[in-house]
């Protein structure tokens, strides 16, 4: 799970980096879902019987929550915010998203201790939001709303993984293969814009490492493993540590500022994560 958190921080940084690269979001999505499809496809025959037994709702939660809708929503929101916001408003609020969806689907109530921890995490998220006073208000609000919606999708993905009952490889295949095939169709029909042929391998390499190998393969497998061995709320709470790492990485890599308000927000989120894990 620690490895997944590190990669999640890299996800936030790479989402922000799309705007400064010659790649379109669809190109990065092709890398994100194409590389794991290529590497894990040999495992498909052995996982096929398991995949056929997955209930439609669980499969939909995985595909929508972690697939193309999530990716394009996160990239659109990240374009007009910052790496700190991408991490804080997705990974940082996932414990709340998981709790809301679990309550809606299963009637699972939030304990008082976990509720207090989530409140502290949200307070940290608010501090990170108010720290970005230079952003265009209209664009920023729209971007923040998209990131919060992406958090709800990711909460559904987290619960969908557990409900699917697959092993880590099966979960990665369920997410990557249909998403990649659908994206290829959308690009072929011109529904989404692509810059294939207009960028070099050097430009694509950071995304191959961060999105394709990191998020697509390593994180998908390790996150699914963590959910099988830890309870779902605890996995989402540990993932809230990603904002702190993303904020720290955004300073030297993307030139984003680290103000006192940001530091306080990071501290609050980290404290909330610790309390959530003890709840």
Query: pLDDT tens, 173-210?
Result: 999 999 999 999 999 999 999 999 999 999 999 999 98
Q: What is the pLDDT of residue 104?
A: 86
Q: What are the pLDDT digits (tens) for 125-136? A: 788 777 765 555
> What does the pLDDT average to over 138-143?
80
pLDDT of 261: 83
Q: Which two structure tokens, joined as six digits, stand for 62?
A: 């995985």
Mean pLDDT of 149-173: 92
- Report pTM: 0.87
pLDDT > 70? residue 240: no
- Report the pLDDT value the prediction gives residue 3, as an integer from 0 to 100: 65
Q: What's the domain range around 81?
A: 2-278
Q: What is the pLDDT of residue 275?
A: 79
Q: How far apart are the first and last CA of the chain?
A: 18
Number of structural domains the chain divides into? 1
Report how far residue 121's alpha carbon sits from residue 248's, in angstroms, rounded to the nearest whole number: 17
pLDDT digits (tens, 9 = 90+) for 29-38: 999 999 999 9
| Six token digits for residue 104 | 């809606």
Report in angstroms the alpha-carbon separations of 238 from 20, 22, 174, 243.
Answer: 30, 33, 24, 11
């Amino acid at each position: 799970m620690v490895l997944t958190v590190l990669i999640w921080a890299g996800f936030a940084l790479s989402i922000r980096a799309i705007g400064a690269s010659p790649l379109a979001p669809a190109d990065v999505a092709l890398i994100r879902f194409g590389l794991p499809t290529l590497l894990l496809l040999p495992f498909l025959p052995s996982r096929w019987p398991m995949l056929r037994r997955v209930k439609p709702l669980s499969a939909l939660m995985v595909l929508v929550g972690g697939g193309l809708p999530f990716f394009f929503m996160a990239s659109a929101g990240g374009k007009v915010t910052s790496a700190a916001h991408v991490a804080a408003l997705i990974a940082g609020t996932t414990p709340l998203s998981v709790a809301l969806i679990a309550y809606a689907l299963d009637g699972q109530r939030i304990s008082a201790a976990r509720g207090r921890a989530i409140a502290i995490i949200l307070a940290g998220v608010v501090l990170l939001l108010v720290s970005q006073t230079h952003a265009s208000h209209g664009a920023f609000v729209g971007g923040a709303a998209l990131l919060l919606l992406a958090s709800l999708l990711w909460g559904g993905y987290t619960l969908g993984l557990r409900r699917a009952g697959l092993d880590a490889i099966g979960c990665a295949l369920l997410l990557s293969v249909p998403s990649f095939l659908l994206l290829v169709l959308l690009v072929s029909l011109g529904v989404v814009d692509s810059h294939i042929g207009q960028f070099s391998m050097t430009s694509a390499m950071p995304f191959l490492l961060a999105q394709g190998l990191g998020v697509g393969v390593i994180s998908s497998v390790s996150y699914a493993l963590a959910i099988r061995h830890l309870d779902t709320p605890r996995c989402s709470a540990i993932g809230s540590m990603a904002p702190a790492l993303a904020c720290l990485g955004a300073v030297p890599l993307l030139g984003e500022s680290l103000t006192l308000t940001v530091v306080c927000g990071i501290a609050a989120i980290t404290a909330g994560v610790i309390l959530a894990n003890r709840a």
